[in-house]
Chain A
Amino acid sequence: MPEIFLKNVAKSFGKVVAVDQLNLQILSNSFITLLGPSGCGKTTILRMIAGLETPTQGQISIGNRVVFDSEQGVNLPPNKREVGFLFQNYALWPHMTVYQNIAFGLENMKWGKDKIHARVKELLEMLRIEQLEQRYPSQLSGGQQQRVAIARTLAPGPKVLFMDEPLSNLDAKLRMEMRTELKRLHRETDSTFVYVTHDQQEAMTLSTMVCVIDKGRLQQYAPPLQMYNNPASVFVADFLGNPAMNFVDGHITGDGVLTFGGIGVRFTPFNAVTLGERDVVVGIRPEYIRIGDGDMEGTVYSTLPSGMETAVKLNVNGVSLTSVVFGDVDFPVDKKVRFSFNKATVLFDRDSGRSLARGALSAL
C-alpha cells in the first residue's frame, strides 16, 4: 500500500523552478532517501510533503488522505498531516529542558500527565539519554542534541517521519554510529522514513529505496544496489559510488567491437539489445578494473592507499582510469602494470547520457 503519493507536484520560487512535475510513490514502512547535489530541490520536496512549503501545483496524499491538491484547493497545515520532521540543525527549543522538549508535542495532543511521563521515559531509554533529562540543549554535545531531536520527533508516534540531512552536522565517527541507530529505529518504530541527503553512502547504506534528483527532476527511483549496478544515466552513475565510476568516451560498431582509450575489446550485453554503431560513454566501476594480470597495460599515475583498500589512478594511452584494489597494497608511481576488466560495464548514449546496455568486456 502506498503511504505517500505525489502526483505532478511542482514548485517554483518566482521564475526559478525548484521542483518540476514530480511523480513519486512511497510504500508503507519503507526507508526512502531523496539524494542529489545541493540545490537540487530535495529539501523543498520534503518540506512540501510535510506541509512547510506550499507546492505551486500538483497533488499530495499521505496514508490515503489527500493533504494537498492545487485544483481542489486542499492544503492541510503541517500539524494536521500527522507527520514527524527531524531538522538538520535539530531545532531544539533552547529554553526548555530535554524532558520538556520531548513532552511538548504530547501536551499538544492533550495526553494525561502520567501517560506523557511514561512515554518520555520510554523514549529517553530508547535513545539512551536518560541521564540528560533535566539538561538544557546548550549543555549537550552535537550527538546528544541529535538524539533528543529524534526522541522529540518520535514522541507522538508519527506514521511518517521526515528527516532533512539530520546527520550532516555530526563528525564522521558519530555519523556512522547514528546511521546504525536510525536503521534500528526504522525497524522498531514500524513507520515510513523519508530521508534527505547529499551523501551517496548514507543513501546506499540506509534506505530501501533511493530517489535521485537533479535540477528538480526525478532521475531514477530504485533500490540502492539495483541503482548502483544499473544506473539509468551518467548523472546517477556518477553520483553513486566512491571512488566515482570511470567514464571514457568510446565507439561501438555494429558487431560489438568497443574501442576506447586506444583499447579495443568485445562488448557482450547481458540482455538482448540492438545497439548498432554509435558513439558511447563507457562506464566502468573502479572495483571492476583488476590490476595484476590481464591483457592491457597502463602506467600508475598516483595511489591513495587507505589500509583496507587502495585507489590507483592509471594512465592508459592518455586516458585515466581509477581502480580499487582491496587489501593493504601499494604501487610505485610511474610503474607499468597489467590489468583487466571483470564483471559489468555500462554503456551510455553520448548525447542523452541515458543508459543503453549493461554487459561484459572481453579481449578481442
Chain B
Amino acid sequence: MDAVSARRRAMKRIRGRTLAWLTKPANIVLLVFAVALTVLTLYPLLSLCAETLTIHPGREARAAQQTAGELSLYHFQRLFATRENDYSRIQFYEPLLNTLLVSVSASLIAIVFGGTVAFLVTRTNLKYVKFVSAVFTFPYIMPSWTLALFWENFFKNVNIGLKTSNGIMAAVFGVYMPEWFVYGAFPIALVLGLHYAPYAYILIGTMLRNMDANLEEAATILRTRRARIIRRITLPVVRPALMSTFLLVFASSMSAYSVPVFLGSPVRYYVLSTKMKSLMDSYPGQAYIIASVMICMGVVILLLNQRVTNSRKNYTTVTGKSSRISKINLGRANYPLAILLVVLLLLVAVTPLLTFAMESIIVKAGDYSPGNMTLDFWIGTNLEARLDQGDSTGILLNPRVWSALGYSLSLAAVSAFVAGTCGILLGYGVAKRRGSRLANLVNSLSFFPYLMPSLAFGAIYLAMSAKLPWLRGFMLLALVGSVKYLPFASRSGLNAMLQLSGEIEEAAIINGVPWWKRMLRVICPIQKTSILSGYLVPMVSCMRELSLFVLLVPTSNTLLTTMLMQYSEKGWAQFGNAINLLIIIVVLLVNFIVNKLTGASIDKGVGG
C-alpha cells in the first residue's frame, strides 16, 4: 500500500514538474526547434555520410566494379590514395591546396583592406566618410560573382582562357594581360577578398567603435607615439575581432563556388567546391566526400572561432562616459587618401555595374564603338531575325524573365519570413534558457547549415526530396532557403534578445500579458531594427543565391540566378549581363527600400 502511494506521489511530482516546465514558452520553443532542427540538419548530415559509403549506379558502379547500392570504402580509397595517373593529386590534393591558398589570401586581403578602411573611418578625420561607408558595403550586398564577371569582362583577351573575345582592357586600351592575372589563384583570392572586405569592415569597425576611447587616451597621456598606440594598444584589443573575421572569411571563401567557376574553370584551376560540382555528375560518392571534408574544415573553424570569441570577454571593458574619440588628424594626407579610397571604391563597386550595362548593349563582343551598340537585348523584339542566337525578345519584354523575377522575389520573401521568424523565436528560447543543455544544443544545431557548402546542401536536399514526393518545387526551395539562412537570422535574433534585460518581459508577465502578446507588443517593437535586419539578410542573400538552388530548380528558367547561369553557359553574353544587372539592381533596391522604411540594414545582421 505504502509503496504504491509513494510511487503515485513520485508520478505526481514528475507530472507536476513536466507541466511546470511546459508552461514556459521558451521551453516549448526550444523543444520544437530541437526536434525540427535535428530532422532538418542532422538527417541531411547523416545521409551525406551514408552517401560517401554507397556505390551509386552508372559510371561509378562500373568504375568500382561493384553493384549499385552496396556499402563500400571504395570512394575514400579512390579519392585519397590513387597514385595511378596522379588521380588523387589532381582530384583532391591539388584542389585542397588551392582552396587553402585562395582562402587564406582572400581572408588576409579582406582584413587588410576592410580593417584599414574601418580604422580610417572610425579613428581619423577622413573626408567623405559617409560616402565611403555607404558604398563600401556594396560589393557585399551584390552577388559574389559580380566582381568575378567584371574581372573577366574587363581583362579577358583572345590569348588566354577560352580565347573567345577581347575584354575592355584589350579591345579599348590594347593591353593584353597575362593569364595568371586574369584567371586562377590571384584573381580568385583578390575578388573573394574584395567581396568579403565589407564583412571585415563591419566586424572590425564595430569593435573599433565600441572600444573604450580612454584606453587610447591613457596611452596618449603617458607620452606614447601614435604608431606605438596603434601597435601596442589598439591592435591587441581588436585582435579577437581580427581573428574571428579571418576565420569567418576563410570559411566563406572556402565554400565559395561561383567565383572559382568564373575565374578558375576556364584554365582548369580547381578548388574543392568546383571539383565537387564537377565530380557530382559522374562520381557522386567522391563528391560527397569532398563535401564532408569541407564540412569538417568548417567545424574546426567554427570551434576555433568560438574559442577566440569567448576569450574576447576578457577584452570587453566598461565603456566610460567619454565615447568622444579624439580622431587622428590626417593633415595634408587627408584629401589624397580620401580621393584614393573613393576612386578605389568606385572601381570595385560602381564600374562593375557600368561594364555589365556596357556588355549588355554591344552587338559584337569586343567592339565598343557606338555603332555597335543597341538596346535590343533589353527591349528589342523579333530578335531572331537579326541575331543568330539568344531569345527572341529583350529581357524586359520577356515574360519568362518577369516570371523568374516574381519567383525569385517570392522565394526570397518566404525564405526570409520563415528564417527570420524562426530566428527570433530561437533567439528568444536560447536567450531565456541560456546555459541550459537544451539551449546549447539548439544553438549549435541552428549553426550547422552555415558550415555546409551550399552546393552540397542543395545536393543533400535533392536526395531527400526523392524519397518525399510531396517535397517539390517552391516548397522544397523555400525549405532549403529557410534552413540555410537560419544561422544568420538566429544570430541576429539571439543578439537582439540578449540585449534585452529580463525585467522588460517580466514586467509584462506580472501584468498577466499572454506570451504571444509579449512577443508582438513588447519584445519585437523594442528590438525592431535588429529583428528586421534578421529578415533582411536572408532576403538579400536568397535573392542572389545560385549554388544552393542550382541543383533543385525544376527548370533553369525558374529563378533569375539560374537563368543567368543558363545564359552564360549558352554564351549569350549580352542577355546574361543584362540579367545580372537586373539582379543587382533588384537586390540593391530591396536593401535600400527596407533600409529607408525600417532603418534595418545589412551591416546590423552580417552574414556569410
Contact = CB atoms under 8 A, between A and B. Distances in A.
Interface of A: 43, 47, 50, 52-53, 77-80, 83-85, 87-89, 91-95, 104-105, 108-109, 136-138, 152-153, 155-156, 169
A87 B314 contact: no
A218 to B, nearest CB: 22
Given A91-B317, A94-B237, A108 B222 contact: yes
B318 A152 contact: no
Interface in B206-251: 212, 214-215, 217-225, 228, 232-233, 236-237, 239
Contacts of A93: 215, 218-219, 233, 236-237
B227 to A, nearest CB: 12
Interface string B310-324: 000111011111101
Given A85-B218, A89-B318, A95 B223 contact: no
B326 interface: yes
A342 to B, nearest CB: 42
18 contacts: A43-B321, A50-B221, A78-B220, A78-B221, A79-B223, A83-B221, A88-B321, A89-B318, A89-B320, A93-B219, A93-B237, A94-B317, A95-B236, A104-B224, A105-B224, A109-B223, A137-B317, A138-B314
Contacts of B317: 89, 91-92, 94, 137
Contact of B212 (A52, A80, A89, A136): A89
Contacts of B221: 50, 52, 78-79, 83-85, 153
Interface size class of chain B, counting residues whose CB lies under 8 Å from the partner chain: 20 to 34
A105 B222 CA distance: 5
Interface in B87-127: none
Contacts of A52: 217, 220-221, 322, 326
Nearest to A109: B223
Contacts of A50: 221
Nearest to B314: A138
A93 B239 CA distance: 13
B178 to A, nearest CB: 44
Q: Is the interface of B mostly helix, strand, loop or mixed?
A: helix
A362 B592 CA distance: 76
A104 B232 contact: yes
A152 B218 CA distance: 9
Contacts of A108: 222-225, 228
Contact of A94 (B220, B315, B320): B315
Given A52-B217, A104-B219, A152-B222, A91 B326 contact: no
B212 A91 contact: yes
Contact of B218 (A43, A77, A83, A87): A87
Contact of A79 (B220, B239, B314): B220
B223 A156 contact: yes
B220 to A, nearest CB: 5
Contacts of A155: 222
Contacts of A89: 212, 214, 317-320
A78 B214 CA distance: 13
A44 to B, nearest CB: 10
Contacts of B232: 104
Residue from B212, B315, B320 having most chain A Cβ neighbours under 10 A? B320
The 3 closest A-B pairs by CB, nearest first: A105-B222, A91-B214, A89-B320
A336 to B, nearest CB: 43
Given A43-B321, A47-B322, A108-B228, A91 B215 contact: yes
Contacts of B228: 108
A63 to B, nearest CB: 16
A3 B371 CA distance: 80
Contacts of A136: 314
A93 B234 CA distance: 10
A89 to B, nearest CB: 4
A105 B319 contact: no
A168 to B, nearest CB: 10
A83 B225 CA distance: 15
A312 B218 CA distance: 46
A94 B317 CA distance: 8
Contacts of A94: 237, 314-315, 317
Given A52-B217, A94-B237, A136-B314, A156 B321 contact: no
Given A79-B222, A80-B223, 4 more contacts: A88-B214, A91-B212, A94-B315, A138-B313
A105 B223 contact: yes
B348 to A, nearest CB: 33
Contact of B237 (A78, A95, A105, A109): A95
